Structure 1
Amino acid sequence: MRIGTTLTHYIIRNQREIEGASGTFTGLLNDICVACKKIAALVDKGALVNVLGSAESENVQGEEQKKLDVISNEIMIEALEHNGHIAALASEEMEGIHPMSAERRGRYLLLCDPLDGSSNIDVNVSVGTIFSILRAPDDTKAPTEADFLRPGVEQVAAGYCLYGPSTMMVLTTGNGVSMFTLDRDFGEFLLTRENVSIPDETREFAINASNRRFWDEPIQRYIEECLAGEEGPRGKNFNMRWVASMVAEVHRILTRGGVFMYPCDKRIRAQGKTGKLRLMYEANPMAMIVEQAGGAATTGMQRILEVDPDELHQRVPVILGSRKEVERVTAYHD
């Protein structure tokens, strides 16, 4: 499709190839775009509109919420609850689901992390919104949490919006990955790259090295081999990156390759958790995007998209990016 095509036109063109398409999916993605544009405007203004700093509250996981965490969640709900495109919404910032009213209940379920990487917002580092779309069960009259608990392979679409030097929407509907850049003068997301492909090999890894003393042996081994450089078993030098914003990490991998790791470790297990990142709001949508771009995504033990969720806020280890590197780390776990 022509570079510069609007996201709306792009979605409509793709929808024509889907048998029985009614326009609801196009409407849903437009709703998400509207929410992301509003969040982008607030991120851009920052301290000028008093949206930085702590909200003096905690989310369901007991983590400190930033003002923009709360505001972004409210923006997502407002953009989606009146147009009849979704049956219910689940968010990292809410304990339970947010069902739509019966007369405005749509055909899809939406899961989202309204502001990923919000710990970076006060220091003006890239943050983003992550979303995942599932089809609502046909016989659902009143959606429940159980309707959301499906493996990532059942996602209809996934994407994220990156709020950085430019605002970018990255989207997959199961047929490759496309990138759109927000033209603020025009007010639309315009296609700037399609058929995104992640290189199979890389010389770059991203991990929080401050946790090194807690890592399990497979992760220790992989990182030590990378750090050994040309003289080590890998025979090449690696660079390390760490932004502490999953959207920014994945976007870099989509752009030039790399591997991102947030493994489970001794410290996380001591807290009674099975991982750091949320399966439904972060791992599943990012795994779908990465796989659609030719990469791989595992927990170290299994493909992320095949994990059967037990609960809405389940956490999992995440290793994703360039295929050969992910396969190597996974093999070390085996």
Structure 2
Amino acid sequence: MGLEATSTPAHTTKKKKKKSRYEMENLTTWLLKQEQAGNIDAELTVVLSSISLACKQIASLLQRSSIINITGAQGTVNIQGEDQKKLDVISNELFCNCLRSSGRTGIIASEEEDVPVAVEETYSGNYIVVFDPIDGSANIDTALTTGSIFGVYGPDQPCLVDLDDDSTLDQAKEKCIVSVCQPGSNLLAAGYCLYSSSVFFTISIGSGVLGFTLIPNTLDPAYGEFVLTHENIRIPKTSKIYSFNEGNYDLWDEKLKKYLDDLRKPGLNGKPYSGRYIGCLVGEIHRMLLVGGIYGNPKNKNAKNGNLRLLYECAPMSYLIDQAGRKAIDGCQRILDITPEQIHQRTPIFIGSLKEVEKLEEYLS
């Protein structure tokens, strides 16, 4: 009997290769895969790689900060009137240098800089990068949690500096950058790097949130390699953890006080909410991404517009939270719906698990 030819049905699809439990994917490989899939372009790949390099360098310095005498105050004050630590200044310089050398960044805006920095045209690209080089710098001298926060805005709206009016160059740059940096529409990527018992790099490019953990690299022991350890991070819808600086309690409005008072009362299970406060936004958001809860930095009698910066801190974190399926508001509207008017603009923020933020909204309405 002759052999009959067999054919595979047209509808049959190739099975997806199962990932080995021992297979590791680093950040560079992941970025290249996203580029190949058309999720990001080659220029954004370079920008994000440059940011990760800056984070590795900062992590290395933090681990050795006490030994090489870079703790303590710098003796200078930033544009917000805050005393700068030595590592505030050093980390800002590291971020700026890495972004300049990428050749893909057009304008850099840092919490530590008075005005946006336009990259020299020879080395310039189209992307705008905003960042807080060291969040929670008050924790440096006691070796507690710190972090870096970043956001990348796209080149689809060129930032053209117009000097036809009476504005100075610095004013024109600020006007230009706030016109482009619209968190709800032009923010293409955002994330943070946590410096703690481990170094954790969290990122979103608009299709979920992923986490990479820094591991030693035998070829480059000073910096190591970010390896994918957390895929598709989703915040629990509810969690009985709240994070507010309750030292400001008497400065808050009555509706917010009532909300906090009720959280501290025992619930149906006989237990109240648990209070957690790290003093570092990156640390608060990192815990929340993994276990849920709510974080609040509200306006108060001494800070009518809140304490945190919209572009450098609140917008990137709100982008991450939104991608993880949860919510961030200023008390009245979504953070991502706010139109910036100044580069150092501040805003109140409440951010976290969906049901916890919705519960807060009932009190504030």
TM-score, length-normalised on structure 1? 0.94
* CA displacement at 1:148 relative to structure 2: 2.5
Structure 1 residue 264 corresponds to structure 2 residue 299: yes
Per the alignment, residue 4 of structure 1 pairs with 24
Q: Secondary structure at the match of 2:351?
A: strand
1:304 to 335, 345, 354: 335
Per the alignment, residue 319 of structure 1 pairs with 350
* CA displacement at 1:90 relative to structure 2: 0.2
1:170 aligned partner, one-letter code: T
More helix by share: 1
Structure 1 residue 64 corresponds to structure 2 residue 64: no
Residues 69-105 of structure 1 deviation map (CA, whole Å, 9 limit, x = unaligned): 0000000011111221110100000010111111221
Per the alignment, residue 148 of structure 1 pairs with 177
2:188 aligned partner, one-letter code: V
Structure 1 residue 277 corresponds to structure 2 residue 335: no
Per the alignment, residue 52 of structure 1 pairs with 71
Q: Secondary structure at the match of 1:319?
A: strand
Distance 1:286 1:135, change over 3 A: same
Per the alignment, residue 185 of structure 1 pairs with 217
Query: Which whole-Å CA distance do the structure 2 matches of 1:218 and 1:195 have between them?
Result: 35
Structure 1 residue 166 corresponds to structure 2 residue 176: no
Query: What residue ranges of structure 2 are gaps of 5+ in the alignment?
Result: 1-17, 162-171, 219-223
* CA displacement at 1:141 relative to structure 2: 5.4
Query: Which whole-Å CA distance do the structure 2 matches of 1:18 and 1:305 have between them?
Result: 25
Structure 1 residue 80 corresponds to structure 2 residue 103: no
Q: Secondary structure at the match of 1:88?
A: strand
CA RMSD of aligned residues (A): 1.7
Is the Cα contact below 8 Å between 1:87 and 1:100 reproduced in 2?
yes
1:90 to 75, 87, 109: 109
Query: Which whole-Å CA distance do the structure 1 matches of 2:85 and 2:253 have between them?
Result: 32
1:47 aligned partner, one-letter code: S
2:338 aligned partner, one-letter code: V
Distance 1:266 1:103, change over 3 A: same
Residues 23-62 of structure 1 deviation map (CA, whole Å, 9 limit, x = unaligned): 1111111111111111000101121011100001100011
Structure 1 residue 204 corresponds to structure 2 residue 235: no
Per the alignment, residue 248 of structure 1 pairs with 283
Distance 1:235 1:291, change over 3 A: farther
1:162 aligned partner, one-letter code: L
Query: Which whole-Å CA distance do the structure 1 matches of 2:316 and 2:158 have between them?
Result: 25
Query: Which whole-Å CA distance do the structure 2 matches of 1:331 and 1:308 have between them?
Result: 24
Structure 1 residue 225 corresponds to structure 2 residue 262: yes
1:288 to 319, 324, 331: 319
* CA displacement at 1:133 relative to structure 2: 0.3
* CA displacement at 1:137 relative to structure 2: 4.7
Q: Secondary structure at the match of 2:217?
A: coil
Query: Which whole-Å CA distance do the structure 2 matches of 1:258 and 1:289 have between them?
Result: 15
* CA displacement at 1:332 relative to structure 2: 1.9
* CA displacement at 1:333 relative to structure 2: 1.7
Query: Which whole-Å CA distance do the structure 1 matches of 2:102 and 2:118 have between them?
Result: 13
* CA displacement at 1:196 relative to structure 2: 0.3
Per the alignment, residue 15 of structure 2 pairs with none
Is the Cα contact below 8 Å between 1:136 and 1:147 reproduced in 2?
no
1:151 aligned partner, one-letter code: Q
* CA displacement at 1:235 relative to structure 2: 6.9
Per the alignment, residue 120 of structure 1 pairs with 139
Is the Cα contact below 8 Å between 1:298 and 1:330 reproduced in 2?
no
TM-score, length-normalised on structure 2? 0.86
Q: Secondary structure at the match of 2:290?
A: helix
Distance 1:137 1:102, change over 3 A: farther
Distance 1:4 1:218, change over 3 A: farther
* CA displacement at 1:119 relative to structure 2: 0.5
Query: Which whole-Å CA distance do the structure 1 matches of 2:335 and 2:261 have between them?
Result: 25
Query: Which whole-Å CA distance do the structure 2 matches of 1:172 and 1:218 have between them?
Result: 34
What is the percent sequence identity of the aligned residues?
36
2:230 aligned partner, one-letter code: R
* CA displacement at 1:219 relative to structure 2: 1.4
* CA displacement at 1:300 relative to structure 2: 0.7
Query: Which whole-Å CA distance do the structure 2 matches of 1:127 and 1:284 have between them?
Result: 18
Q: Secondary structure at the match of 2:282?
A: helix
Number of residue equivalences: 327
1:29 to 27, 48, 57: 48
Residues 292-313 of structure 1 deviation map (CA, whole Å, 9 limit, x = unaligned): 1111000011000000011000
